[in-house]
Amino acid sequence: GQNIDQPTEMTATEGAIVQINCTYQTSGFNGLFWYQQHAGEAPTFLSYNVLDGLEEKGRFSSFLSRSKGYSYLLLKELQMKDSASYLCAVRDSNYQLIWGAGTKLIIKP
Amino acid sequence: DADVTQTPRNRITKTGKRIMLECSQTKGHDRMYWYRQDPGLGLRLIYYSFDVKDINKGEISDGYSVSRQAQAKFSLSLESAIPNQTALYFCATEGGSISGANVLTFGAGSRLTVL
């Protein structure tokens, strides 16, 4: 079966750096997405990786290793507003998105 | 106005009732999706549509039906609601390449409680 694994919950301190990991086993690969979801709100797009390597976008970066079935989302200079769930999703060979359960990130002052 | 609008935002109903959740979009996208989200689980696809004449079942379509009335409108129905359909439901459209990918734009969600 297809599977996306990410930690259920992480805690970090304001101003620090946190890395959220995502491992996947899917039928084919056509890109990996990270979405941010604040409590009770809609998910919003953060980043996309289809080739190996690091994609940087301001305080957020996302890394992909297709051979290892692994990605991470790196958040720098954490702010209280970064408290949210972060969803990893992989598009498989049938163009379907397979979603992880999400990682709830708690930021402490 | 939001790009993807869902109504109702909250609904409490009783077992056996018929419920319709509506979704409309102003993004002009052909592809539309209905997902449900439950605590501790990832988003699960109920139905999707790639254009007005195209309807496809997702991984958890049992107990649900959909109608694509127009490019902009995609509604989800529960013919006879049951308590385990209590969940947060999201409509999404796909399109508009960002960073080389077609991303999803989600509505604000419809929280359904079935008693």
Q: What is the pLDDT of residues B5-44, one digit of tens each?
A: 999 999 999 999 999 999 999 999 999 999 999 988 889 9
For residue A81, the SS3 value is helix
In tens, the pLDDT along B70-83 reads 999 999 999 999 99
Find out whether A4 and B42 touch, Cβ atoms under 8 Å.
Answer: yes
- Residue A8: partners with Cβ closer than 8 Å, 6 or more residues away: A101, A103, A104, B40
B42 interfacial to chain A (CB closer than 8 Å)? yes
Q: Is the dihedral of CA B92, B51, B27, B65 positive or negative?
A: negative
Query: Sorting pLDDT into bands at 50, 70 and 90, what band is B113?
Result: very high
Distance CA B112, CA A10 (A): 28
**Contact: B106, A100; criterion CB under 8 Å:** no
**Contact: B43, A87; criterion CB under 8 Å:** yes
- Residue B13: partners with Cβ closer than 8 Å, 6 or more residues away: B19, B81, B112, B113, B114, B115
Supply the pLDDT for residue B1. Answer: 63
Find out whether B64 and B19 touch, Cβ atoms under 8 Å.
Answer: no
Chain B residue with CA closest to A32: the answer is B101
Distance CA A93, CA A57 (A): 27
Supply the pLDDT for residue A34. Answer: 97
**Contact: A48, B103; criterion CB under 8 Å:** yes
Supply the pLDDT for residue A47. Answer: 94
Q: Which of A26, A32, A34, A48 would best serve as a mutation to test chain B binding (most B beta carbons within 10 A)?
A: A48
